[in-house]
Amino acid sequence: MRKLTAILSLALLVLGLQVRAQDLGAIKQRMKDRLDSVEALKIAKTVGEDSKGYLQAVGDISATDKAIVEAENADRTLVYAAIAAKTGATPEDVGKSRAKTIAQSAAPGVMLQAPDGTWYEKK
């Protein structure tokens, strides 16, 4: 258990350094630039918001769409790590909290993942 804790701490430190090395404004801009594409994938119900604060394919997606999802999730990982570093929470807790906020504000028809792993369409 100590070894796992040490590995996780090191991973968080590395993520924190990556976030500091990157301008959070640049991350925000990338996410803003991708927003229309992400929303289109969610409306098509091929991508949904999972219970951990990340996008996840819920249908077949093209390589281009997969790249959009991966880029969005990579930036979300950096943002969650930055928030965790400031608040003392874990990035996982930040992601789960963000997932709840996303679910509440999601448009009808968006696929969401319940904490038990099941998918449902927001009404």
- Total-model pTM: 0.81
The whole-number pLDDT of residue 31 equals: 97
- pLDDT class of 1 with cuts at 50, 70, 90: very low
Q: What is the spatial distance between Cα 47 and Cα 73, in angstroms, rounded to a whole number?
A: 12
Per-residue DSSP letter, 41: H
pLDDT of 80 > 70? The answer is yes
Across all residues in the chain, what is the average pLDDT? Answer: 88
Q: What is the spatial distance between Cα 101 and Cα 34, in angstroms, rounded to a whole number?
A: 19
Domain residue ranges of the chain, discontinuous segments joined by +: 2-121
Residue-wise pLDDT tens digits, 37-70: 999 999 999 999 999 999 999 989 999 999 999 9
Q: What is the spatial distance between Cα 100 and Cα 112, in angstroms, rounded to a whole number?
A: 10
Q: What is the spatial distance between Cα 106 and Cα 100, in angstroms, rounded to a whole number?
A: 10
Q: What is the spatial distance between Cα 19 and Cα 15, in angstroms, rounded to a whole number?
A: 6
Residue-wise pLDDT tens digits, 12-33: 455 555 555 568 899 999 999 9
The whole-number pLDDT of residue 16 equals: 53
Closest alpha carbon to 95 in 51, 65, 63:
51
